[in-house]
Chains A and B, each alone.
Chain A
Amino acid sequence: MKSSFLSNPQAVLPYPRFADVCVRCANCMTICPVSRVTPAFPGPKQAGPGAQRFRSPAEVSVDDWITMCTGCMLCDTVCPAGVPISAMNLLAKAKYLNEQGRKVRDWALARSDLYGGAASRWAKIVNPLMKNTSIRNLLDNVGGIDRRRELPAYERQTFLQWFRSRPAAADIPGRRQVAYFYGCFVDTNEPDVGKAVVALLEKQGLAVSVPHQNCCGLPRLGIGDFYGAKEMGSSNIAALLPLVREGTAVVFSSTSCGLMLRHEYSRLLHLPGAEELAPRLFDICEFLLRLQEERKPGLTFKAVHMKVAYFAPCHLRALNIGLPALELLRLVPGLDVHLVDADCCGLGGLYGFKKENYPVAEAIGSDLAKAVARIKPEMVLTDCEGCRMQLRHLTGLPVIHPLQLINN
């Protein structure tokens, strides 16, 4: 099912022609999770700078494999020449989809923020429906959403409802303010992550506010919908910029939302105000680690006697801030924490829900599952909601955000 009216009318953004900067070293080919598991995707070197030389705005796209790129950005992190490979792929994908039209499914998945609230309200009905075999078969056959992929359950009370229902904290003058960008998934599906973030920040004596926010726009960008992504970005910048100008720091607990806000709003979308916002945006673990370094004595955490595995999401790597969650976890007394030796979970956000991508996502995920199995942990921790879904699907182990463990 395709519809041309859903195509994004906006032309592909101008992007410097970086193709000739590539030195063909093939570092990207060693890390690309997709070309590692299937010959159908030629890999970042060919798909990015290689094919870029043959792309022209005036000609119809022929690179149908470009939709197989998950947008993990690992290629960018290993390139010694600074080629913006994933951005090239994304722009090529946008052009291809603009020409081919987007499936209704892709449009619907990328706008889950529009119906997430309603789904939460009706969680008692929606959740069983999402597990119903007939409905899953229908979604699979007609909708193209693979029946083997568990759909995430909605929570009856959203994070925002919980936050607003709390008794107002006493307004202590001079208390340092911090704003929390919680993201759609925490709001309707994993409010416990948000509650842990708020609790930890408040324990440090900070006043937490939750500014008005929309979806970060990354799912829209993932299907090459630059227009939709810009719309989301502009509204978020409008809400966050006044806070930042007052000196408030903004933290995020989803590494993918954070990457979008901090980097793509300016780098890819060129949104006004994005560059001013970026330096005041922090990954929550990065932020806590800074507090830890500033304060003497540092933060203290309750002991947890457990063996856990920590997996570093791709978009955390693209943030290029090291592994702050791992550093925090190492401060937890008694915790036996092991870094998972794998590069990508394979879910790629919405990518792995799509029927045609399911085998690729599974193959990539199988390497992750093996790497987790080697550790034999009681629990897996990771910063990204997509990775958490995939790890639950692959391992059957409890999988939570690192801060949920720290705040136990």
Chain B
Amino acid sequence: MKSFDLIIIGSGLAGLMAARTAVDRGARVLVVGRGLGGLTLFGNTIDVLGRLKGETDVAAGVENLARNCPGHPYARTGWEGIDRALQAFQTLFLPPDNFVGKRRENSLLPTGAGTMRPTFLFPITMAAGAEMIPAATLIVGFRGFKDFQADTVSLHLGCRGAVIPFPRYGLGGMTTSAVARMMEDSSFAERVGETIQQQMAGERFVGLPAVLGLRESASVMKALEAATGARVFEISLLPPSLPGMRIFERFREYLLERGAVFLLGKQAGEAIVKDGRCAGIVVPNAPLATEYYADRFILATGRFLGGGLLAKIDGIVEPLFHTPVVQPARRGEWFKGRFFDREAHPVHQAGIETDAALRPLSENGAVFLENLWVAGSILAHHQVIEEKSREGIDIATGFMAAERALSA
């Protein structure tokens, strides 16, 4: 039967970061995903701590958060752990398709809803969005591309908006990946650029939906900049997120080159546990169920959407290892009275309690399984949505879990 040094369950950003960290240390790694993982759902930019309480320095914000909330994943990693992990992440994305951001501060980027949101690192194709001046910006949408409404976005941002016809395409039915694919054709991108140029009235910035290519988005951006004479930036959209898919593809390419094995599509079905250790996992693909063995395991299966946590009538469970889940005492306490409360609903702080090394704990406080580590949003005591900390937690804990697992 197949045997690995490390099996990572989950192919979102936390799992991929753990895998990358492990292959760099020479480990033989298996990644078991569920579908494509979470990156196409969330991953447009890298949030670390979007909600700061008075500070402007993200590092200071992280340290304050860790002090006030000692169970928080950032209390395990510290700012130093986040910083190291982010640097490791960034080495995967070399220019021209690199990530940028301020050294220790958040930047404000426009969204597809026409709002400005704080984020820490973002692809270079979004960089001009952080510097745009509304009065000097044109927001461009494509006729028939329903996922981006240039009129709404521009109205909210206080810019001018334009909807242009899309060469070669009829009305309707345009998908994000179809548009992105055509953008990679340089003659097509040039024509789009010329059409935009005709709509411009002296603007110096042009914002477009995040569809600038499936792979080499920086070169698409450059082509549009050459044709328009303006600085061009991408704006985050509804899922599927192409910037997220680019991150996924980059990780996959890197990992496959270094001999990691990927099983995407089927969720790990059960864990084979013996004497306080996990020996293996079973991956079903009807009518088969295949066993995979390893010395160490990392659980990075995300929350409810990713399948890492299951909300049952009488409580929240972690279905693979049956790791204890910290959660409100009763179901009636899962939600606050108001849906859009400033603070997270208690159900969203449920998750897995770990020791300082990210090993899950039993109810009695002992280590649950000696060769299991946990990474990503399945960890307890954070508020990823309200804090705007999803990718920071994923990257920092994925990195740390792999380091700890391999040094154990």
Contact = CB atoms under 8 A, between A and B. Distances in A.
A81 interface: yes
A25 B285 contact: no
A37 B288 contact: no
Interface string A295-339: 000000000000000000000011111110011001000000001
Bin chain A's interface residue count.
35 or more
Contact of A263 (B173, B263, B267, B286): B286
Interface string A21-64: 00101110111100111111011000000000000000000000
A267 B287 CA distance: 7
B266 interface: yes
Interface string A5-26: 0000000000000000001011
A35 B175 contact: yes
Contacts of B178: 35-39
B173 A39 contact: yes
B2 to A, nearest CB: 7
A293 B2 contact: yes
Contacts of B40: 25-27, 30
A278 B288 CA distance: 7
A86 B240 CA distance: 19
Contacts of A26: 40, 176, 238-240
B133 interface: no
B3 interface: yes
A79 interface: yes
A80 interface: yes
B306 interface: yes
Interface in B214-250: 215, 238-240, 242, 245, 249
A323 B265 contact: no
A336 to B, nearest CB: 12
Interface string A265-279: 011000000110011
B177 interface: yes
Contacts of B265: 76-79, 317-318, 320
B175 A43 contact: yes
Contacts of A79: 35, 265
Contact of B267 (A25, A82, A322): A82
Contacts of B253: 339, 341
A85 to B, nearest CB: 11
A263 B263 CA distance: 16
Contacts of A262: 288
Nearest to B256: A339
A367 interface: yes
Given A26-B40, A82-B267, A293-B2, A266 B177 contact: no
- The winner among A30, A43, A263 for most chain B CB atoms within 10 A is A30
Given A293-B2, A339-B257, A30 B176 contact: yes
B259 A330 contact: yes
Contacts of B163: none
B257 A81 contact: no
A262 B290 CA distance: 13
Contacts of B305: 23, 25, 80
A267 B177 CA distance: 30
A293 B288 CA distance: 21
A29 B238 CA distance: 13
A275 B35 contact: no
B170 interface: yes
A23 B174 CA distance: 20
A38 B177 CA distance: 11
Counting from the closest, the 6 A-B pairs by CB-CB distance are: A80-B35, A39-B173, A78-B36, A77-B265, A322-B261, A26-B240
21 contacts: A27-B35, A29-B177, A29-B240, A32-B177, A35-B178, A36-B177, A39-B169, A39-B178, A40-B173, A77-B264, A77-B265, A80-B305, A80-B306, A263-B286, A267-B286, A320-B263, A320-B266, A320-B285, A322-B30, A322-B263, A327-B259
